[in-house]
Amino acid sequence: MLQLICLPCVLLIRQTLLKQKSKKPLLLLLRLLLLLLLLLPLPLPLPLPLPLPLPLPLPLPLPLPLPVLLCLLLLVLLLLLLLLPLLLPLPLPLPLLLLLLIVLLLLLLLLLLLLLLLLLLLLLLLLIRLLIRLLLLLLLLLFYCYFYCYC
């Protein structure tokens, strides 16, 4: 799908940058908007069938957000709490020790589920950003085709 959208954009940009036949300011403005939209960094690399005269910037790696770091820190703390009764020779009765282990395991499972939910939300956010950019690009292409055909 990206190739179907990007191929007309590349052709339009080449026509704008190399030939510049059109003297209409609106067409030129739309072509330059397409160029700027293509040069925005996307979360995923774009497979382009034709080389661009200007190189696309590479997307930067995303740093871990603060909630993910906090969840990882809590995970390490829970693991330490889980291993602490095993390391210390405490005279705890067996049912209490088992109850403590079950509670810690349930908390650990809850934390892992929370982390998974957070990662899914981050992926959904990236997907929404990509879809918005693709829709904007498609809208600009439709405007360009409309003005090119009827102006």
pLDDT along the chain (151 residues), means of 10: 52 57 57 58 48 49 61 70 65 75 82 86 93 92 84 66
Which pLDDT score, from 0 to 100, does residue 63 have?
Answer: 58
Which pLDDT score, from 0 to 100, does residue 108 have?
Answer: 79
Which pLDDT score, from 0 to 100, does residue 84 have?
Answer: 67
Distance CA 111, CA 117 (A): 10
Which pLDDT score, from 0 to 100, does residue 103 have?
Answer: 82
